[in-house]
Amino acid sequence: MQLKLLLLICFIVSCVLLNAQNNVWNNKQCAVVLTYDDAIEQQLINALPVLDSLHLKATFYLTAYFAKNNLNDWKNVAAKGYELGNHTLFHPCNGGKGREWVKADYDLLHYSVQRMVDETRMTNVFLESLDGKKERTFAFTCGDMKVNDTSFIDVMKKDFVAARAIRNEMHSIDKVDLYNVDCYVVNNHTAAQMMEWVEKAKQTNSLLVILFHGVGGGNSLNVSVAEHSKFLHSLKQNEKDLWITTMLNAAVYIKKQQTKL
Ligand SMILES: [Zn+2]
C-alpha cells in the first residue's frame, strides 16, 4: 500500500515538473509574436480589423518616412495596445547584395555607424510622439546588422529591449538572442503552412516570430487577406496553448527568465 502511494506521489510530481517545463511561456507552451513591417497602408486596412476583432496583440515596425502619411492611424494603433516598433527613419539597406532597388542616398554602404545610430534614435523620438513610450524593440531593415563591417546595434542596446532579425528559425527561451531574434518571413504562405510553424513552436516550446509585409497587397512579400484572416482565427482557437503577444512583452519576459537561468 505504501509503495503504491509512493509511486502515485512520484507520478504526480513528475507530471507537475513536466507541465512546468512545457509551460515556460507565461504558462503557455510557446510564444507567438506577429510583426508587420514598413508601415504599409494595407496593414491598417486589412490586418488591423482582424487583430482588433480577435483581441490579438502584435508589433508594427514603423519606418518613420513611410508612416508619415497616416500619423493619426498609427497613433490609434498604439492607443489600442499594439507596439510601435522602430524600423528606422528611411529604411536604409545594404545595396551591395544584388539589391538594385536600394537608393544610393539610403544605401548602408554609404552610411556611417553614427548616422545609422542618429537616425534610429530620431525614429524613437518620432515614435514616442505617437505613443508616449520610451521602451520598444527594433527590427533590422532587410535584416542588415552592419554598416560596412561594424555592428551598429551594439551601441544601441540600451535604446531597445530587443532587435528582430529575419532568419527563419525558432528557439527555446534559453536560446533566444534578444538582439538577433529570428523570425519567419511570410511570402504568400497559406494559413495551414503558417500553422505548421505554430505546431513546431508548441512541440519545441519556442518563441515563434512571424513577419508580415503586405496583407492583401502593398508589397511583393504578401499574404492574401483570406489566408491572413484564417491564420489569425486558427491562432485564436489555439490560444490556450499559445502566448500571443507583442515583441516588447515577449522580450521583457525572456530577459527576466534568462537572468534566472
Ligand atoms: Zn522593412
Spans in the chain with pLDDT lower than 50: 15-17
Buried/exposed code over 136-175 (b: 16+ C-beta within 10 A; e: otherwise): bbbbbbebbbebeeeebbeebeebbbbbbbbeeebbebee
Tell me how many helices (H) and strands (E) the chain has: 9, 13
Per the listing, cell 504562405 goes with 189
Q: How far is the CA of 132 from the centre of ligand 1 (A)?
A: 23
Q: How far is the CA of 195 from the centre of ligand 1 (A)?
A: 24
pLDDT score for 12? 52
| Terminal CA-CA length for the chain | 39
Q: How confident is the model over 215-233, as pLDDT tens digits? A: 999 999 999 999 999 999 9
Contacts of 98 by beta carbon, 8 Å cutoff, 6+ apart: none
pLDDT score for 3? 63
pLDDT score for 37? 98
Q: How far is the CA of 27 from the centre of ligand 1 (A)?
A: 32
Q: How far is the CA of 77 from the centre of ligand 1 (A)?
A: 19
The CATH T-level fold of domain 28-260 is TIM Barrel (3.20.20)
Q: How far is the CA of 206 from the centre of ligand 1 (A)?
A: 24
Distances (CA, A) of 229 to 186, 209, 232, 234: 14, 17, 5, 9
Q: How far is the CA of 7 from the centre of ligand 1 (A)?
A: 56
Q: How far is the CA of 93 from the centre of ligand 1 (A)?
A: 9
pLDDT score for 179? 98
Q: How far is the CA of 116 from the centre of ligand 1 (A)?
A: 15
- Taking the C-alpha atoms of residue 21 and residue 209, their distance in angstroms, rounded to an integer, is 21
Q: How far is the CA of 23 from the centre of ligand 1 (A)?
A: 32
pLDDT score for 115? 98
Q: How far is the CA of 40 from the centre of ligand 1 (A)?
A: 10
pLDDT score for 85? 98
Q: How far is the CA of 65 from the centre of ligand 1 (A)?
A: 12
Q: How far is the CA of 238 from the centre of ligand 1 (A)?
A: 29
Q: How confident is the model over 109-160, as pLDDT tens digits? A: 999 999 999 999 999 999 999 999 999 999 999 999 999 899 999 999 999 9
Kindly give the pairing relationship between strand 184-185 and strand 150-151: unpaired
Amino acid at 214: G
Q: How far is the CA of 258 from the centre of ligand 1 (A)?
A: 28
pLDDT score for 97? 81
Q: How far is the CA of 48 from the centre of ligand 1 (A)?
A: 18
Global pTM? Answer: 0.92
pLDDT score for 6? 64
DSSP characters over 235-261: HHHTTTTEEEE-HHHHHHHHHHHHHH-
pLDDT score for 22? 67
Q: How far is the CA of 91 from the centre of ligand 1 (A)?
A: 6
